């Protein structure tokens, strides 16, 4: 089981590093292109504007020349860059605010009053790292906190699960805490917003979440030796279907299909996993590469096209100046 844990943790780490590398590389290249070429974009825009208005009316043919299109595209890239930066800043501010608001909106209880939870926390050496939320109707558990993550569990879940199921859930969340998965997910979500135009990000985010969940499952089973109890807890929590709606930014549950895959791994670990994502991987990779290529060509077109000297005397629009024969 130990090599399986390392394998899933390695996959999660690989997907995380891929997301960081791909997004920072593309963002750096876009910023570099904008910084290097901004003066040229302004100059070319003025030249094109002069060219298409040389007859005191807009020549429609000019809108379809290669140079005119090449002049417009960098500004599209700048708009995309600006939107991505704004979205990333919004995510960076909103996610912690939303998480903290949700946590502080629910009062906490002392685990000393609940022997079942107290005994489990004592054996796991959780000390002050486990927070019991005073809500007997909701059933959920999650790990939250960027620098010093804590495990949160609702009173309703404590009553809903058996002792072994509760221990399996806490062991699962302890692995998220150990790996600082909330911080990694926070970074990924910011990069996802920054380069929102890359379809590959959605695939990598799903794969990171899946690998993180499976690594936490394997770690819990490696300690408890009770895969059936964890599978039972997953099914119960999935049926309650409250975590994602209440706490969307820290929930790792990605829907019924992912939960079914996790339960299958726990009950039948020898069965090969279903291969459902190859088509999506290839299509999203190709589309992301195509979009990135268009952006880079738009920003660095001045190095690829011959020098452009606008002239109103029929070189650009194939007309002569108005009033001249």
Is residue 323 domain-resident? no
CB 175 within 8 A of CB 228: no
Is residue 312 domain-resident? no
pLDDT at 210 over 60: yes
Sheet holding 141-144, edge to edge: 108-109, 130-133, 150-154, 141-144
Tell me how far apart the alpha carbons of residues 238 and 305 are, in angstroms, rounded to a whole number. 57
Domain range for 268:
2-303
Is residue 308 domain-resident? no
> Angle at the Cα of 137 (from 134 to 138), degrees rounded to 5?
80
Confidence of residue 238 (pLDDT cuts 50, 70, 90): confident
| Cβ-based neighbour number of residue 208 at 10 Å | 24
Burial label for 185, CB within 10 Å (0-12, 13-18, 19+), is buried
pLDDT of residue 180: 92
Beta strands of 38-165 (E only): which ranges? 108-109, 130-133, 141-144, 150-154
pLDDT of residue 52: 62
Is residue 120 domain-resident? yes
Q: How many domains does the chain have?
A: 1
Nearest CA-CA partner of 53 in 312, 266, 274, 249: 312
Is residue 19 domain-resident? yes
| Long-range interactions of 115-120: CB distance < 8 A, separation 24+ | 116/158, 116/163, 116/166, 117/153, 117/158, 117/166, 120/163, 120/166, 120/167, 120/170
pLDDT of residue 273: 64
Which residues on neighbouring strands pair with residue 151, listed in sequence order? 130, 143
pLDDT in tens, 88-142: 999 999 999 988 888 888 888 888 888 888 888 888 877 778 888 888 888 888 8
pLDDT at 85 over 90: yes
pLDDT in tens, 25-66: 999 999 998 888 888 777 777 776 766 666 544 444 555 556
Q: What is the mean pLDDT of residues 241-259?
A: 51
pLDDT of residue 302: 66
pLDDT of residue 244: 45
Nearest CA-CA partner of 284 in 187, 191, 207: 207
**Which is more confident, 44 or 76?**
76
Nearest CA-CA partner of 198 in 72, 84, 37, 29: 84
Is residue 316 domain-resident? no
Is residue 311 domain-resident? no
pLDDT in tens, 315-325: 444 444 444 44
Confidence of residue 267 (pLDDT cuts 50, 70, 90): confident
Is residue 77 domain-resident? yes
Q: What is the mean pLDDT of residues 301-314?
A: 54
Q: What is the percentage of the chain residues whose pLDDT exceeds 90?
A: 30
**Torsional sign, CA 256, 253, 22, 29:** positive
pLDDT, averaged across the chain: 80
pLDDT of residue 65: 59
Give 56's DSSP letter.
S
pLDDT of residue 185: 93
């Amino acid at each position: 089981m130990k090599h399986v844990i390392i394998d899933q943790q390695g996959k999660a780490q690989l997907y995380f590093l891929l997301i960081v590398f791909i997004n920072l590389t593309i963002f750096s290249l876009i910023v570099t292109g904008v910084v290097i070429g901004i003066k040229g974009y302004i100059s070319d825009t003025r030249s094109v504007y002069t060219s298409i208005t040389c007859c005191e009316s807009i020549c429609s043919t000019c809108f379809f020349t290669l140079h005119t299109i090449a002049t417009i595209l960098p500004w599209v890239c700048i708009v995309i860059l600006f939107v991505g930066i704004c979205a990333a800043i919004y995510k960076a501010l909103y996610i912690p605010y939303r998480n903290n608001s949700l946590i502080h909106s629910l009062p906490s209880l002392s685990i000393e009053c609940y022997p079942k939870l107290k005994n489990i926390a004592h054996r796991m050496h959780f000390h002050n790292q486990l927070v019991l939320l005073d809500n007997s109707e909701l059933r959920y558990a999650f790990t939250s906190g960027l620098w010093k993550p804590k495990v949160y569990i609702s009173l309703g879940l404590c009553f809903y699960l058996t002792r072994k199921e509760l221990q399996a859930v806490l062991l699962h969340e302890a692995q998220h805490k150990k790996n600082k998965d909330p911080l990694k997910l926070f970074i990924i979500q910011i990069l996802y917003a920054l380069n929102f135009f890359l379809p590959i990000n959605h695939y990598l985010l799903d794969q990171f979440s899946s690998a993180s969940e499976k690594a936490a499952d394997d770690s819990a089973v490696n300690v408890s030796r009770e895969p059936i109890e964890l599978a039972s807890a997953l099914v119960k929590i999935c049926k309650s279907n409250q975590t994602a709606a209440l706490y969307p930014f820290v929930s790792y549950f990605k829907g019924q299909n992912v939960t079914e895959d996790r339960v299958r791994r726990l009950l039948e670990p020898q069965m090969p996993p279903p291969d459902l994502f190859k088509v999506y991987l290839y299509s999203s990779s190709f589309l992301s590469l195509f979009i990135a290529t268009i952006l880079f060509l738009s920003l660095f077109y001045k190095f690829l096209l011959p020098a452009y000297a606008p002239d109103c005397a029929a070189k650009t629009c194939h007309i002569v100046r108005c009033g001249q024969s």
